[in-house]
Amino acid sequence: MRIFSGIQPTGRKHLGNYIGAILGYLDGQERGDPAIYCIVDLHATSVSYDPKALPGYVLDTTAMLMAAGLDPERCILFRQSDVAEHTELCWLLSSVTPYGDLQRMTQFKDKSAREQELVRTSVFIYPVLQAADILLYKSNQVPVGEDQRQHLELAREIARRFNSTYAEVFVEPEAVIPKTGARIMDLQDPETKMSTSYGTEAGLVYIDDEPEAIVKKIKRAQTDSGSDVVRGPGKPGITNLIDIYSVARDMAPEQVEREFEGQGYGSFKQAVGEAVAEFLAPARERYGELRADEEALERTLAAGAERARAIAVPTMVEVSSAMGLGPKH
């Protein structure tokens, strides 16, 4: 069972990353043979970014993943740009990816609408590179948030089309999406996904936030009319907090509703803040120690890239042979 997922190094990691992605990585580490996790710095260049800050963000993300529990001895953890086969395969998969499919990608529409100065071609072909990331390792499962479901379906379609056009090379991957918390929303705008790229400081809970800051942010979270702690139509704010609390306390959302029946939003938000602060404490405390040793983090990424290449290179030999590229075999 090969498990693969990638995470963008876009600044500090937040609660949405932790619940929607990192918890799935930890589960995959227990089941994968191997579990492969990639810090996708190439994807980060598809929108406006600071090239001087990006290397530091990669190390931030590496340290946070390890602080959360990823063990480079038990999984493969590496930086995308260290393995050139990702970009090579992206170009080759473009030959079996319909232009119309990329036009229909929801994230392309959203991201291009937000980019005022320059809509990069890389935003458009982003899903092809994502498919290359996954298919390169013949991944069986991909832990992702709900917002990536469409991209996973495209990766499956690309694998099918390549296999039927050239040769049976790729595995069709399955998405593994959390049952609860697959899409954690901004605390101040619960109709929008929590995001460092487009959110506000007040709407984000960072994994390395101090406990007092976490409680304060959640107490100020936007809620809905009424006072009942229940999910449902017209209650995106309280639904988001119920999902967060249920993951932090490892409870079903229905149990959360029963626990806080009749208590109102104030006491519930206090409880959510305290639960999240406790939930994130182990990762927050270990992160500082790991982040301080940049040389060790670079060694970890380099070793991971070497292990990733050992899988990627044979795949590319198969792909090139199937497509008639290179010397006659």
Residues in the chain: 329
Average pLDDT over residues 222-245: 90
Q: How far from the centroid of its chain's Cα atoms is residue 65's Cα? A: 11
Percent of the chain whose predicted confidence (pLDDT) is above 70: 96
Could you tell me the pLDDT band of residue 113, with boundaries at 50, 70 and 90? low
Cβ neighbourhood burial of 116 (10 Å; 0-12, 13-18, 19+): exposed
- The pLDDT, as a whole number, for residue 148 is 81
Which of 4-13, 135-144, 214-223 is predicted with the least confidence, judged by mean pLDDT? 4-13
* The predicted structure's pLDDT at residue 124: 87
Q: What's this model's pTM, rounded to 2 decimal places?
A: 0.88
Higher pLDDT, 313 or 10: 313
Q: How far apart are CA 107 and CA 121, in angstroms?
A: 13
**Residue 77: burial class (beta carbons within 10 Å; 0-12, 13-18, 19+):** buried
pLDDT band at 67, cuts 50/70/90?
very high
The mean pLDDT of 146-151, rounded to a whole number, is 82
pLDDT above 80 (res 237): yes
Tell me the pLDDT tens digit for each residue of 179-208. 777 789 999 999 888 987 777 889 999 999
In angstroms, rounded to a whole number, what is the distance separating the alpha carbons of residues 254 and 246?
Answer: 9
At residue 294, does pLDDT exceed 70?
A: yes
Write down the number of H helices and E strands in the chain. 14, 5
Q: What is the mean pLDDT of residues 104-113?
A: 72
**Residue 57: is its pLDDT beyond 80?**
yes
Distance CA 142, CA 156 (A): 11
- Evaluate whether 248 touches 206 at the Cβ level (below 8 Å): no
* Structural domains in the chain, sorted by start: 3-176+294-323 (3.40.50.620), 201-288 (1.10.240.10)
Mean pLDDT lowest for which of 86-100, 144-158, 249-263? Answer: 144-158
What pLDDT shows up at residue 323? Answer: 97
pLDDT at 329 over 60: no
* Comparison of pLDDT for 223 and 94, the residue scoring more: 94
- What is the Cα 280 distance to its own chain's centre? 17
Q: Output the average pLDDT for the chain.
A: 92
- Give the model confidence (pLDDT) of 267-292 as tens digits: 999 999 999 999 999 999 999 999 99
Tell me which H or E stretch contains 245: helix 236-248
